[in-house]
Every structure is written in C-alpha cells, then in structure tokens.
Amino acid sequence: METLDIALPKMAFLYGLCLLPGLMLWLIGLRINRDIGISILRMSIQLTLVGIYLKTLFNLNNPYLNGLWILMMLVVADLSILRRAGLKARYFALATFTAITFSILFSTAYLVILVIQPTHFYDARYIVPLAGMILGNCLQGNVIALERFYSAIRKNEDEYATFLTLGATRWEAVRPYFRDAIKAAINPTIASMGTMGLVSLPGMMTGQILGGSEPWLAVKYQIAIMLCIFTSTTIASIINLKLSLNIAFNAFDVLKDEVVQEP
C-alpha cells in the first residue's frame, strides 16, 4: 500500500489553506502575518534541505556517513541544550556531549541491534529517524534538568549554604535540588506515556500508518520509541547533571559565577 503523493501544484494549493487564518488574524487586528510568513518559509526551506539530505543518506546508506550524521546531531543537540539551559558551553560541552552520546547510543543500539535487527545495523532508514526522535526528546529533558537544577541552586543559595554548614558534603547538599530537577526532566515523558493514545495519536504512529504500515506494527514501534525515549532521557539527565557538578562548583562547594550565562 503506497502513500498517495502530493504533486507540486497541489502543494502550492496547500499553502492557500493559511490564507483563512491569515485573514482572520488581520481582521482581529493582530498584525503578525509577516512573522507567520517567515516561519512558513523557513519551515519549507529547512525541510526541503533535510529531504534532500535524507534522500542522499538513504541512497548511499554508508555506515560512516550515517555515523557522521548522528555525530552532527549530537553536537548540535549538545550546544542547544547548554544554550537553552543558560550554561556556558565552554565549561559544560564535553560533559553534556558525553551524557547524551552514551544514552543515545545505548538506547538506539539496544532497539536497533537487539530488537529490530535489520540486515545492516547501520541502515539509515532505521537508525537516522529513531536516533533523531530519541535525541529530540532527550534534549528537552536535559534542558529541563540543567536549567531547573542550576536555577534552584542560585535561587536557594542561602538554603544550599545552610546544608553545607550543617555538615553536608557537596553531594548531600545538592541532592534535594538534583532529585527535583531529574523529576522535572522525566515527568513529561512519564505523563505522555500515561496518556498515550487517549489524548491524541502519537506522531510516529500517525506517520507510520500514513506510510502504509499495519496499525499493529505502528503500535509496536510507538511503544519501542517511548521506552527508548524514557530510558535515554533518564540516563542522560542523571549522567549530565552528575558530571556537571564537578565543573560548576569550586573546591569550597560554592557555585562558580562564571559558568552560568548572564541573563
């Protein structure tokens, strides 16, 4: 069963759909059509480039090229996590990279090599979208973990100092904030697993069904990807935060000012 193609003229026709919300926004006096136009244009260009890139990647299906693509995604994710968490990449880039690389490779390898078992484990059709999806979610979790943790330490500076002066080691003093941050990082994944299928059809499943897969197969892949997202987010945020502790604090266990970005 093939998915029906959308021919170019029909694609152009599709953009016409946005004229109605555009008109309505204009009528209520919300002049944001320029921003919307730019966003739609960016989406179109970016996805076209990804399309070209993925097509090449799939055609060549070269293990090194696939590996390079994953490496590039990891580097971009690394920098994006730190920027969004308000931490300086100069100090934390290696720690975050180590954490996400380990967790992504572990969960993707587990899924692809041990469970799906394609003819070639490096098959771009499997590892590129699966690693990408796991990484995308893992990124969110790591941003939340780092951001929560370091803003809690700064906001509760006095409380943290009190723990230290009550005889806590650095690890004992940060532990309450550490646990809260990890909980906040994995909560969205837990909540989304708990309501999956009730609130909306998950994106990957929808995609697979449109792509012609049996609903059963789509369900199995959806479960697989959710378990991998949960695993990698948890592992990555714990390792990431733990590694960052050695970088962010001075020898007296006080948070260094220079490691966080000025707001």
Partner 1 sequence: MPALIRFDQVSVTAHNKTILSDVSFSLFPGEHAVLCGKSGSGKSSVLKTLLGLNTVSSGTVYFQETPLTPSSVQSIRSCAAYIGQEPMLGAESVREALLLPFQYKTHHDHRPTEAQLIEVLDRLQLPTAILSRASSRISGGEKQRVALARGLLLGKQLYLLDEVTSALDAESKRAVLDVFSDPQLTVLSVAHDPEWMGHCGIIFELEAGQLIQVKRNGNP
- Exactly one of 65, 75, 79, 164 binds partner 1 (CB under 8 A); that residue is 164
Measured from the CB of residue 173, what is the shortest distance to partner 1 in angstroms? 9
- Exactly one of 7, 35, 158, 195 binds partner 1 (CB under 8 A); that residue is 158
| Residue 86, SS3 per DSSP | coil
Measured from the CB of residue 178, what is the shortest distance to partner 1 in angstroms? 15
Render 160-224 in DSSP notation, one character per residue: HHHHHHTT--HHHHHHHHHHHHHHHHHHHHHHHHHHTTTSS--HHHHHHHHTT--HHHHHHHHHH
Looking at this protein, which amino acid is placed at residue 74? L
Host H or E run for residue 4: none
Measured from the CB of residue 95, what is the shortest distance to partner 1 in angstroms? 21
Question: Does 262 sit near partner 1 (CB under 8 A)?
Answer: no
Measured from the CB of residue 94, what is the shortest distance to partner 1 in angstroms? 23
Question: Does 258 sit near partner 1 (CB under 8 A)?
Answer: no
Question: x-or-dash pattern for partner 1, window 222-241, by CB under 8 A?
Answer: --------------------
Question: Does 263 sit near partner 1 (CB under 8 A)?
Answer: no
Smaller CB distance to partner 1: residue 219 or 254?
254
| Residue 70, SS3 per DSSP | helix
Question: Does 163 sit near partner 1 (CB under 8 A)?
Answer: yes
- Exactly one of 161, 191, 210, 217 binds partner 1 (CB under 8 A); that residue is 161
Smaller CB distance to partner 1: residue 68 or 161?
161
Measured from the CB of residue 241, what is the shortest distance to partner 1 in angstroms? 20
| Residue 132, SS3 per DSSP | helix
Subset of 6-45 contacting partner 1 (CB under 8 A):
none
- Exactly one of 172, 191, 210, 261 binds partner 1 (CB under 8 A); that residue is 172
Distances (CA, A) of 189 to 35, 140, 144, 213, 246: 31, 10, 12, 25, 28
Neighbouring-strand partners of residue 46: none
- The structure tokens 């390079």 sit at 68
Residue 109, C-beta contacts closer than 8 angstroms, at least 6 positions apart:
121
- Exactly one of 133, 168, 193, 227 binds partner 1 (CB under 8 A); that residue is 168
Residue 132, C-beta contacts closer than 8 angstroms, at least 6 positions apart:
73
- Exactly one of 8, 31, 199, 252 binds partner 1 (CB under 8 A); that residue is 252
State the number of binding residues for partner 1 (CB under 8 A): 19
CA dist 233 and 140 (Å) reads 8
Residues that bind partner 1 (CB under 8 A): 156, 158-159, 161-169, 172, 250-254, 257
